[in-house]
Structure 1
């Protein structure tokens, strides 16, 4: 039996060898911004009495805030914060209110809104990054469903109750006083600047636009509202309501964009990095042996062509509801209890071509999935998908980057494939498997053999 000192020394030596070998492997395969284990890492929210996430936002690559709520009365909800990019979360406030929206204008200053119809609207503000919260004056009833913060002083809140207290409210002095700008059932509010903005009315039945800061709203004919909306300038914008639509004339007319065909095609939330790169969530795909898995949409040309990524079939995330990217490579996608994070733009994007509202032509789609089981001993299964005929090579490498075996090395037709790796002759350790198509590396994933 080994002594404790021997075990600790072995672990220390193994750790040194592991990280040295990782660096050697990255250099050998030129993975400078694409780690071999894939570009997505799963993250978990803290246990908060099973309260579901209702909104999430990130200020920078490290600092983010989330809130819980589901319109249930007589329960406590939470404001949570991360300071390490979502790897760990902690509670910064707990409120006996339903929470619906969180918005930070910088690392220190942020707002949270919500409320219950039985109690009234709720709006709170922090100026020290969540350490302290001050409840703002809201001299009207009805819960708040949405909020848009233009500055520390100017913001709007919506109340979908209708009647005496519902509508749209604006403050220009940080909540000291409010002006009711619309008395209809307003669900969503978005402002491009202090003058131009859009609201979603009557449970997303209508879309309206203002050009004078919200004092007057014009219904846009033959156009429904939105779950999410963003404008890159006064003319160009996108909105999501199951499908994805784009305008180039300031919202007067909208054209539907073609999303990739999966088990369910749906856009709920999206995050614009710029006018070209957009990430979105809402759709999912069914995978044999894994069930439903959420996918993440991506475009790099303003939506002319959309692709999607599947972070990892071993991540049991049936669908994503929230997405927030701070640049083209760093971002997060979450459902109500867990999510994924990338610092390098995720995995290889599956590209779909053929821009038409009636048909979608699929071209050059190659996907490599996580092996299962993982860790394994001694047999594991690897699945991959190809949509056009090509020369496929699937090889396994050790931690030093030396090829151990070729699982596939031949021309294959369109289809889904499975191949087994038997590690009986391999020692315990970390391995990588890489898929090449016609000599081009598609993707690499990590697996672990434990005997």
Structure 2
């Protein structure tokens, strides 16, 4: 059995046992007094207690809250994508798989109901290889996945309406990958999928019926890597191919090719500023060969500027880009490579809109394939070899109603989902100035429902949804230092 004590500690205890207390009197007589067994035991307990305390301090310093933490149930799971159910961000889905000793890939479809800290496998995922997962904003059981490989039957789009118990194959049979499933961030009933190497289809009724849209004229090989919809204007689409980047301003009716060099391996990802559709970031996957890395446009893609300050060629395997919707100058990028060191792979962050990047890797074992962000709890997620989460972006505490005293409560609106009007009920235990406001999924305030001083009691507020688009909203109650948040779904 391995000795649990520090190296050299056993010999130190032996010397301690043989030690003695030397003392001299005022008259100059000196004596030596050996430690008794009881004294030795007391001293030994003191030393061990001190070492335990020091070790605990060291552990606390090396497992700080601002690092990445591995979610339970995802050890060894090669996660390809993560999506958060915005009606209840406690619920999340992930797709990925495991490689056995015979190098056979076995796909996995996972669910978490506690904000990504613990995951369990939904075993009957239809995939042989995996691409993307998206959760319907109105129904957490309705999920779309893309799966791909290099045989005639593995590049498919599937949908489940019961949380993964049964699946319907929507499209398939193409021999090239298109790992694309995207939900329109403005019209939440519209879904886009990539089918085959380049074809794009759209549903405006949550996957019930589909139509083909005009495919960008990408030269061979026309591999579609990403499709991005501008959050502030869903008429604007970006289609990233191995051979170039294309833009549509009419929801895919027509396309133009943008002047961004796709390099040797293509444009892997595109993200648009949530508040300004003219600000666009693109990742060029290059395996260290220029051009590569991050490029930024401030004029809707007409011109581009390289933004690689703080990155070197080992960081150019860009796999994911994400803009913090609450702080648009804060951008995250994920790199996925087996090269480099802890400081040259994984996640990087800029707080200056791409002018300088710094590693954001503490706790990560290597590269990250996809990033996801929870707007409610300010938690960042990384799909890697395992699923990781990071809470260092938290700037305020969103208290859960279940953890608040019964004397201060915010209840679920009724009806929910709603069409037209809904009622919000809250309780106060003492007089306070009350602010009840409504926010969209990007964290933008869309309406102030109440601003007034209120006495203790129970109150009801009627919310009108007539001039708001369908979607997910959050209503936030502030009373003094107390803050509560609930979710509401508007369907028209």
Q: State the TM-score, normalized to the length of structure 2.
A: 0.53
* Per-residue deviation, residues 10-53 of structure 1 (Å, max 9, x unmatched): xxxxxxxxxxx9xxx9xxxxx9xx997341243156479x7732
Distance 2:260 2:390 in 1: 38
Distance 1:332 1:310 in 2: 12
**Residues 1:37 and 2:64 aligned together:** yes
Gaps of at least 5 residues in structure 2 are: 1-52, 286-292, 395-492
Q: Is the 8 A contact 1:52 1:70 kept in 2?
A: yes
Distance 1:258 1:47 in 2: 32
Structure 1 SS opposite 2:147: strand
Deviation at 1:283, TM superposition (A): 7.2
Q: 1:341 aligns with which of 380, 384, 389?
A: 389
Q: Which residue of 1 aligns with 2:199?
A: 167
Distance 1:44 1:271 in 2: 21
Q: Is the 8 A contact 1:122 1:135 kept in 2?
A: no
| Distance change >3 Å, CA 213–CA 286, structure 1 → 2 | closer
- Structure 1 segment 215-234 matched on structure 2, within 5 A: 215-224=253-262, 226-232=267-273, 233-234=276-277
Q: Which residue of 1 aligns with 2:379?
A: 330
| Distance change >3 Å, CA 137–CA 265, structure 1 → 2 | closer
Q: Which residue of 2 aligns with 1:5?
A: none
Q: Is the 8 A contact 2:240 2:270 kept in 1?
A: no
Deviation at 1:97, TM superposition (A): 3.5
Deviation at 1:268, TM superposition (A): 2.4
Q: Is the 8 A contact 2:193 2:200 kept in 1?
A: yes
**Residues 1:146 and 2:180 aligned together:** yes
Q: 1:268 aligns with which of 319, 328, 334?
A: 319
| Distance change >3 Å, CA 244–CA 52, structure 1 → 2 | same
Gaps of at least 5 residues in structure 1 are: 1-20, 26-30, 347-451
Structure 1 SS opposite 2:64: coil
Structure 1 SS opposite 2:240: strand
| Distance change >3 Å, CA 250–CA 262, structure 1 → 2 | closer
Distance 2:213 2:311 in 1: 43
Structure 2 SS opposite 1:279: strand
**Residues 1:67 and 2:95 aligned together:** yes
Q: Is the 8 A contact 2:190 2:204 kept in 1?
A: yes
CA RMSD of aligned residues (A): 4.0
- Structure 1 segment 228-247 matched on structure 2, within 5 A: 228-232=269-273, 233-242=276-285, 243-247=293-297
| Distance change >3 Å, CA 260–CA 182, structure 1 → 2 | same
- Structure 1 segment 344-355 matched on structure 2, within 5 A: 344-345=392-393
Distance 2:355 2:228 in 1: 24
**Residues 1:248 and 2:298 aligned together:** yes
**Residues 1:113 and 2:146 aligned together:** yes
Q: Which residue of 1 aligns with 2:131?
A: 100
| Distance change >3 Å, CA 105–CA 231, structure 1 → 2 | farther
| Distance change >3 Å, CA 43–CA 73, structure 1 → 2 | closer
Distance 1:78 1:296 in 2: 24
Rg larger in structure: 2
* Per-residue deviation, residues 358-384 of structure 1 (Å, max 9, x unmatched): xxxxxxxxxxxxxxxxxxxxxxxxxxx
Distance 2:174 2:313 in 1: 42
Structure 1 runs (4+) greater than 6 angstroms displaced: 70-74
Deviation at 1:251, TM superposition (A): 0.9
Distance 1:194 1:73 in 2: 41
Q: Is the 8 A contact 1:137 1:175 kept in 2?
A: no
Distance 1:230 1:245 in 2: 11
Deviation at 1:140, TM superposition (A): 6.6
Q: Which residue of 2 aligns with 1:214?
A: 252
Distance 1:81 1:294 in 2: 27
Structure 2 SS opposite 1:84: coil
Q: Which residue of 1 aligns with 2:478?
A: none
- Structure 1 segment 35-434 matched on structure 2, within 5 A: 37-44=64-71, 46=73, 52-59=78-85, 62-68=90-96, 76-92=106-122, 93-106=124-137, 108=140, 109-116=142-149, 117-119=151-153, 121-127=155-161, 130=163, 132-138=165-171, 141-142=174-175, 144-150=178-184, 153-161=189-197, 166-173=198-205, 174-182=207-215, 185-187=222-224, 188-192=226-230, 193-201=233-241, 204-224=242-262, 226-232=267-273, 233-242=276-285, 243-261=293-311, 264-266=314-316, 267-274=318-325, 275-282=328-335, 294-312=345-363, 317-327=365-375, 329-335=378-384, 337-345=385-393
Structure 2 SS opposite 1:65: strand
Deviation at 1:156, TM superposition (A): 2.0
* Per-residue deviation, residues 128-151 of structure 1 (Å, max 9, x unmatched): 5x2544415337745542122225
Distance 1:276 1:104 in 2: 27
| Distance change >3 Å, CA 286–CA 113, structure 1 → 2 | closer
Deviation at 1:153, TM superposition (A): 4.0
